[in-house]
A and B are shown apart, each in its own frame.
Chain A
Amino acid sequence: MNDTYDLRIGESHIEVHKFHGGTILLSVLVAVVLQSFLPIYFAKVAILDLPLLVTIYFGLSRRNPSTGLLLGTVIGLLQDSLSKTPLGLFGISKTVIGYLASSIGARLDTEHPIARFALTAGFFVLHQGIIILVQKLLLAQPQPWFTMRLLVACLVNATLGVFLYYFLDRLRKT
């Protein structure tokens, strides 16, 4: 079986990447554990959303909307379990992000750092937007749509994403 194959949409050829066994599972666990663990020692790290970056990366790389959204669901529910939020808050938002990342990944070449930065920033804002929407509509917890912290978090996560994706690229099967 081929490790990688091409999706042909119109004239474009977009490669679907595969990873060494256990890479996705391990990456997800490391991201969730670090997200929960590091802020004890470095309070500022709480601004990062490592599980979201992992969801976006594997969505963009695998380019299969079904697996992308299911991976997003699992990661989101794991994150919910380790927070005080009701189960489903992060689950819903990461499900949607996983689906969109996979769908966009199947149509565009998302290997360039600038494209990755822009996509991560966009997904970050959308992710926060979904969370706030769910909080407002379903949980009756009004939250502000925009804060400076959100803007800073968006830029920081997008920047980190570019470097993290570069590292995760090394784990692909060649």
Chain B
Amino acid sequence: MVALPSRHRSLFLLIGVVLLQVLLLAVQIKRDSQGRLIRVWTVSAVSPVERSGAWGIGKVRDAWRHYFALSDTARENEELRRENGQLKLEVMQLQGKSAEADRLAALLNFKQKQSKVPMIVARVIGSSADANSNVIYLDQGQRDGIRKNMGVITPEGVVGKIIESFRDTSQVLLLTDRDSGVGAMIADSRIQSPVGGSGEPLLSMKYVGNDDEVSVGQRVVTSGMDRIFPKDLPVGTITQVKAGGQYKQIRVRPSANLEKLEEVIVLLTTDPFVLKQDAPPQAGASPLAPAATSVQPTASATTAKPTDKHP
């Protein structure tokens, strides 16, 4: 047999490897599978590092915020200034702790108030390795009852949904992703239309007719039609309305700060349940503040254990 020159060998190898991956892509499209085994291996290998990193960065950030950032100032100044710096340090520590306590209290209050709805608080430990997809990783997974298609929220509003659940980790598709969508409606007029991501910080409300009255500043809430999120959870606020060909072009700013997520709530049910609002949210208050909401779960949603059913 004629031996191939080295340059041609690598060219054939290139063609072979690329063809194999094209086949891999084709198989995934055909079978709607996402190469779960390889993903499980990779996520299992990477998530412990991310967990440690999240812990380490938290510590370093605390140290930086609470000490090093002020140490230069302290060195440059006299005793009084140093004393002042120490006071600032304490204030910053207290502010940091206060902000964290507020955040956790809001999550806890929400969780306690919605005690009939199974949910779990999870920490964000990673994001997508691809700049074009808006995906985050949580530090809890199947062992904690998280399953595919469960809704993810914060006390401020909708975050996204679980698209993959591993043993100790889960993957969330954020609302801002191009492939993301949520059944929504305008809170005042009850005009229903899905809201989806476009890969940018703002969301799009897609199918509101040109004849419908919509104005900037109106609140958008979930409609419950997607059977992932309960009705009336905040989605965002309309920031731009333009007339389009058949439908209006509506841009929505998400209620939840999707660029700075640290803790989220996963709704541990894929069964529908209803969230009733007794009173409209007050300015400055969390949109899901406990006093304003009460939950009336359907019979199936009162189960403590999550189900494997997908909408």
Contacting pair A36 B129 (CB below 8 A): yes
Chain A 105-116 interface 0/1 with B at a Cβ cutoff of 8 Å (1 = within):
000000000000
Across the A-B interface, how many residue pairs have beta carbons closer than 8 Å? 140
Determine the distance from Cα of A25 to Cα of B11 in the docked complex, in whole angstroms: 24
Q: For the complex, is A158 an interface residue (Cβ under 8 Å from B)?
A: no
Q: Which residues of B contact A82 (CB under 8 A)?
A: 42-43, 46, 126, 128-130
Least CB distance, A117 to chain B, in whole angstroms: 20
Task: Return chain B residues, CB-CB under 8 Å to A99.
Answer: 10, 14
**B189 near A: Cβ within 8 Å?**
no
Stretch from A11-19, A66-74, A165-173 that touches the partner? A66-74
**Contact of A37 with B24 in the complex, beta carbons under 8 Å:** no
Within 8 A of B (CB), among A71-93: 73, 77-92
In the assembled complex, the Cα of A73 lies from the Cα of B177 at a distance in Å of 26
Contact present for B10 and A96 (CB under 8 Å): no
Q: Give the residue of A39, A46, A87 whose beta carbon is less than 8 angstroms from that of B25.
A: A87
Contact across chains for B179 and A95 when beta carbons are under 8 A apart:
no
Report B-chain residues with C-beta under 8 Å of the C-beta of A65: 7, 10-11, 13-14
Kindly state the separation between the CA atoms of A8 and B205 in the bound complex, as whole angstroms. 61
Q: Which B residues are closer than 8 A to A by beta carbons?
A: 7, 9-11, 13-14, 17-18, 21-22, 24-26, 28-29, 34-35, 38-39, 41-43, 46, 49-50, 53-54, 57, 61, 124-131, 133, 135-137, 163-164, 171, 173, 177, 179, 259-261
Please name 17 pairs of A and B residues whose Cβ atoms are closer than 8 Å in the assembled complex, sorted by A: A35-B129, A36-B126, A43-B260, A78-B129, A79-B129, A80-B35, A82-B42, A84-B130, A84-B171, A85-B133, A88-B25, A91-B21, A92-B21, A96-B18, A138-B25, A138-B26, A139-B25
- Which residue numbers of A lie inside 8 Å of B, CB to CB? 29, 32-33, 35-37, 39-41, 43, 46-49, 51, 64-66, 69-70, 73, 77-92, 95-96, 99, 102-103, 134, 138-139, 153
The 8 A-B residue pairs whose C-beta atoms are closest, nearest first, are: A81-B42, A65-B10, A83-B130, A88-B21, A87-B35, A82-B129, A88-B25, A36-B129
Seed contacts A70-B17, A87-B35, A139-B29; 16 additional CB < 8 Å A-B pairs: A36-B126, A37-B54, A40-B124, A41-B61, A66-B10, A66-B13, A73-B17, A81-B41, A82-B129, A84-B128, A84-B177, A85-B130, A85-B133, A88-B24, A89-B25, A138-B22
